Amino acid sequence: MQLNLTYTFPSKLKTTSFVLMGLGLLLTILAFVFDHGPEGAAHGEYNHTHFWANILICAFFFMGIGLGATFFMALKYASEAHYTAAFKRVYEAVSDWLWIAGPILVLVILLGQFHVHHLYHWMDPSVYDTASPHFDNKIAAKEGYFTPWFFWLRTAGFMFVWMWCQRTLRNRSLLEDQAGGTLNHFKNVKTSAIFLVFFGFTSSVAAWDWLMSLDVHWFSTMFGWYVFSGIWISAMIATLVIVLYLKDNGYLEHVNESHIHDLGKWMFAISFLWSYLFFCQFMLIWYANIPEEVTYFQNRLETNGYKFMFWLVFFVNFALPMLFLMSRDAKRNRRFLITVGFIIFIFHWLDIYMIVMPSTVGRNPGIGIFEIGPFLLFLGGFIYFVMGKLTKAPLLPVNHPYIEESKHHSI
């Protein structure tokens, strides 16, 4: 049997991705143009916070998919996993997306440094100035940490190392197709171990720097791990949906039901991990009710009109996978996987929205063109880029040392 190992990007899907991008761009521009800020804001004082907050949400969420796929790729090298070899090219292509989304996120934050937007309160130099009416002694105490050179060393350094590790792993994987042998594989195992250690430390710090610092007075030691679990699940959903799409279109014949089942398990398990971390962070802060900490949830539950959305995010992301993906049959059923996958994909985007919006815009602005525009723009870009990357390499890593074991995967 001749396997169809070369993916061709169908023009229909290409058109769809362009339509998404075009529509997204149009809505984004419209949102920007018609964004006059809250009633009564003096002309010139409004910094399009609502607009920029949405750009940050999408930039972070979509960067997370590429980063999560890179983490998964490294994890599977380090843990000697065999079953993932059959669909390795899919999450490799998703991880390549980090090269687009990573710089975009850095750029969005950089614009804040140049005061194009005012999402990060601590980027305003007047808060450190004792003479200024904006002086804030709590932020001033953190000046050393938020000094521009130190902040940008971290931001740029983390992103650079992540992207470099991703490129190294992917290149060696492609090289292995030509060269054979196990040398490249073992080199990748080593790089993966290094990446995982680096990522283990930096993913938390990045989450504090880029998201937690939006609420610069607030702190939670769990925050980094919580954000990480959201990144991971989004990457797993993206991988699973693309695998199912490719199978529907006659590719990936070597991916059998057991592989799909395993990917379903990941979606199920990481959803539990996310829910566990969500619950622990929320419950401990709610229970102790310490003023310094509880403000974060007050802003989301009491004062700004997010109550319904807040609980919806938790219950959908927890209950949906739990109820619908518990059984073995459901994890092998593409309709279940795709439906649950799509819904929780959107709800994990909404999770980032719940982190960013109340800290920046304040009062719940609802879901409108401001939100939908950038989301469609990024989604279209993601589809166009990742599907394009899939055409660049054979869909089966023929010389991967576990490939035979993976083809015979049966659970």
Partner 1 sequence: MHKEAAIREPLILGEVSYKKISDDISRPIFGKANKYWWILFITSVILFMWGISCLAYTIGTGIGVWGSNNGVDWAWDITNFVWWIGIGHAGTLISAVLLLFRQKWRMAINRSSEAMTIFAVMCAAIFVVLHTGRPWLDYWLFPLPNQFGSLWANFNSPLMWDVFAVSTYFSVSLVFWYIGLIPDFAMIRDRAVKPLMKRTYKYLSFGWSGRAKDWQRFEEVSLVLAGLSTPLVFSVHSIVSMDFATSVLPGWHTTIFPPYFVAGAIFSGFAMVQTLMLIMRKVLNLEHYVTIKHIEYMNIVIIVTGSMVGVAYLTELFMSWYSGVEYEQYCFLNRATGPYWWAYWSMMTCNVISPQLFWFKKLRTSLMFTFILSIVVNIGMWFERFVIIVPTLARTFLPSTWNMYSPTFVDLGIYLGTIGMFFTFFLLFCRVFPVLAQAELKTIMKSSSEKYKNMPAAHH
Which spans of this chain sit near partner 1 (rule: CB under 8 A)? Answer: 80, 82, 138, 141-142, 145, 182, 185, 197, 200-201, 204, 208, 217, 219-225, 265, 272, 276-277, 280-281, 283-285, 287-288, 290, 292, 401-402, 404-405, 407-408, 410-411
**Nearest residue (CB) to partner 1, 8 versus 182:** 182
Tell me the closest approach of the beta carbon of residue 56 to partner 1, in angstroms. 21
Contacts by 306-315 with C-beta closer than 8 Å and gap 24+? Answer: 306/354, 306/357, 306/358, 306/364, 309/350, 309/354, 309/364, 310/354, 312/347, 312/350, 313/347, 313/350, 313/351, 313/354, 314/275, 314/278, 314/279, 314/282
Tokens 């985007």 -> residue: 349
CB 263 within 8 A of CB 236: yes
**Nearest residue (CB) to partner 1, 123 versus 376:** 123
CA angle 141, 48, 105 (to 5 degrees): 65
**Nearest residue (CB) to partner 1, 221 versus 339:** 221
Tell me the closest approach of the beta carbon of residue 184 to partner 1, in angstroms. 13
Tell me the closest approach of the beta carbon of residue 122 to partner 1, in angstroms. 12
Tell me the closest approach of the beta carbon of residue 31 to partner 1, in angstroms. 34
**Which DSSP string do the residues of 340-381 spell out, in sequence order?**
HHHHHHHHHHHHHHHHHHHHHT-S---SSHHHHHHHHHHHHH
d(CA 108, CA 283): 33
For residue 220, count other CB atoms closer than 10 A to its CB. 16
**Nearest residue (CB) to partner 1, 82 versus 392:** 82
For residue 260, the Cα-to-chain-centroid distance in whole angstroms is 22
Q: Which residues, at least 6 apart from 257, have a Cβ–Cβ distance to it below 8 Å? A: 332
**Nearest residue (CB) to partner 1, 266 versus 349:** 266
**Nearest residue (CB) to partner 1, 56 versus 139:** 139
**Nearest residue (CB) to partner 1, 28 versus 204:** 204
Length of the chain: 411
Tell me the closest approach of the beta carbon of residue 213 to partner 1, in angstroms. 10
**Nearest residue (CB) to partner 1, 193 versus 367:** 193
**Nearest residue (CB) to partner 1, 52 versus 232:** 232
CB 145 within 8 A of CB 213: no
d(CA 373, CA 51): 10
Tell me the closest approach of the beta carbon of residue 283 to partner 1, in angstroms. 8
**Nearest residue (CB) to partner 1, 228 versus 306:** 228
Tell me the closest approach of the beta carbon of residue 346 to partner 1, in angstroms. 26
For residue 410, count other CB atoms closer than 10 A to its CB. 9
d(CA 193, CA 199): 10
d(CA 168, CA 219): 35
First-to-final CA distance of the chain: 24
CB 250 within 8 A of CB 233: no
Tell me the closest approach of the beta carbon of residue 352 to partner 1, in angstroms. 19
Which of 325, 327, 349 has the alpha carbon at shortest distance from 337?
A: 325
